[in-house]
Amino acid sequence: MRRDDKKDEPVFQRVVLKNASPYHYMKIRLVLQDESTRLSAVQLKVFIISGLKSLFGEVGAALNFDLLKYDEDTLSALLRVYSSGLVKLWSSLTLLGHYNEQSCAFRVLQVSPFLLALSGNSRELQL
């Protein structure tokens, strides 16, 4: 094989991107002691912001996140947050334990940098 033949060969290069997505998406569910209690989307967002404020102060309360989807019946929500703020949001959700004098807990069901990954859950797949 001559040296000139190698120029025509395709060159393969492996590229690995870390944190390629600027956002992370979280599928969460709020579990309340009194299951008949319902929150609106605005009340849920204010509750999450109050948790950020109690843990991280005014700077934490200014963390930018979006409530993309909310189901009032199941108290399930889909949040979008900048990747740099994921740990702050997740930790504040974990430490929220009371809503209107009743015990509560946030369950983080799924987290992904890709929204499409949250469209299905292999744990809930029924064949």
Q: What are the beta bridge partners of residue 45?
A: none
Q: Residue 3's pLDDT is what?
A: 56
CATH number of 27-119: 3.30.70.3250
Which secondary structure element, helix H or strand E, spans residue 3, and what is its range? none
Cβ proximity of 118 and 25 under 8 Å: yes
Quote the longest CA-to-CA distance of the chain: 80
Mean pLDDT computed over 24-32 = 96
Distance CA 70, CA 80 (A): 12
Identify any residues that bridge with 24 across adjacent strands, giving them in sequence order: 81
CB crowding 10-36: b at 16 or more within 10 Å, else e: eeeeeeeeeeeeebbbbbbebebeeee
Q: Is the pLDDT of residue 69 over 80?
A: yes
pLDDT band at 4 (very low <50, low <70, confident <90, very high): low
Tell whether the model's pLDDT for residue 35 goes beyond 90.
Answer: no
**What global pTM score does this model have?**
0.79
Given a contact cutoff of 8 angstroms between Cβ atoms, the answer to whether 25 and 65 are in contact is: no
> Is 38 buried (19+), middle (13-18) or exposed (0-12) by CB count in 10 A?
exposed
Q: Tell me the residue type at 23.
A: Y
